[in-house]
Amino acid sequence: MHMKNVIKPAEPSPRSPVPHPRLTVSVQRAMRAADAPSRIQIIKFARAALERDAEITLRIVNEVEGRQLNHDYRHKDYATNVLSFVYETAPVVLGDLVLCAPVVTREAQEQGKSVLAHYAHLIVHGVLHLHGYDHENEADAAQMEAREIAIVTGLGFPDPYSEMESQYHG
C-alpha cells in the first residue's frame, strides 16, 4: 500500500506577525504641486492609519476645485485642506480624499511646519475619517486627535497639534 505524505497547515505561531490590512490607492494629481508627497509617501502615510482593508482614491487639487467641492458637499464657500468622502466602512473601507495643495502649503508655512509633515497629518486625518472617526464633539475629537498624534509621530514627524490651538479642520 502506497502512503501519501499529508502535510497539515502550520498552526499559527504566537510570534507570527499579524497581517497588515490591504490598501489599494489611486493617486490623482489635478495640478502640479512640487511640494506634494510622492505616491510612495502617500501610501506610507495612508497605510499607517489603516485599521482594515481599504480602497482609497486620493486627489490633489487646486483652490478652484477645492472650493467648488467644499461648496457643493459642505456648503462652505472656501477651499479647505482635506475633504473625506466615505462610501463604505465595512468590511472594506471605500472612500476618496481630496487635498487642496495650495491650502496645505499655506497652512504648513503659517504653522511653521514642513509641508511634508502637514501632508502626512492630513492624509492620516482623512484616512481616520474614512474609518469612521470624527471630531464633532469633544470626546470624539480627543479620541481622533490621540490616534493622529500616535500615527504621525510614529511616522517620524512632530506632534501635529503641539503648536495648534484647535484640532478642528475647516
**pLDDT score of 83 more than 70:** yes
Residues 102-132, buried b or exposed e (16+ Cβ, 10 A)?
bbbbbbbeeeebebbbbbbbbbbbbbbbbbe
- Give residue 101's domain range: 23-154
Does residue 144 fall inside a structural domain?
yes
Q: Are strands 93-100 and 23-29 parallel, antiparallel or unpaired?
A: unpaired
Share of the chain above pLDDT 70, in %: 85
Does residue 54 fall inside a structural domain?
yes
Q: Sorting pLDDT into bands at 50, 70 and 90, what band is 165?
A: very low
How distant, in Å, are the alpha carbons of 55, 63, 80 from that of 168? 25, 20, 12
Does residue 38 fall inside a structural domain?
yes
Does residue 128 fall inside a structural domain?
yes
Q: Sorting pLDDT into bands at 50, 70 and 90, what band is 88?
A: very high
Grid coordinates given for 142: 480627543
Residue 110 maps to which CATH number?
3.40.390.30
What is the value of pTM for the model shown? 0.85
User: How far is it, in rounded angstroms, from Cα 36 to Cα 102?
Assistant: 10
User: How far is it, in rounded angstroms, from Cα 81 to Cα 29?
Assistant: 15
Number of domains making up the chain: 1
pLDDT tens track for 8-60: 444 544 565 657 899 999 999 999 999 999 999 999 999 999 999 999 999 99
Contacts of 169 (CB under 8 A, 6+ apart): 80, 81, 82, 122, 125, 135
Does residue 10 fall inside a structural domain?
no
Does residue 11 fall inside a structural domain?
no
Does residue 51 fall inside a structural domain?
yes
- Long-range pairs for 79-88 at CB < 8 Å and ≥24 separation? 79/103, 80/169, 80/170, 81/107, 81/122, 81/169, 81/170, 82/122, 82/123, 82/125, 82/126, 82/169, 83/126, 84/126, 84/129, 84/130, 86/129, 86/130, 86/132
| Mean of per-residue pLDDT scores for the chain | 89
Query: Phi and psi for 103 in degrees, rounded to 5?
Result: -70, -45
Does residue 148 fall inside a structural domain?
yes
**pLDDT score of 167 more than 60:** no
Name the amino acid, one letter, at 34: A
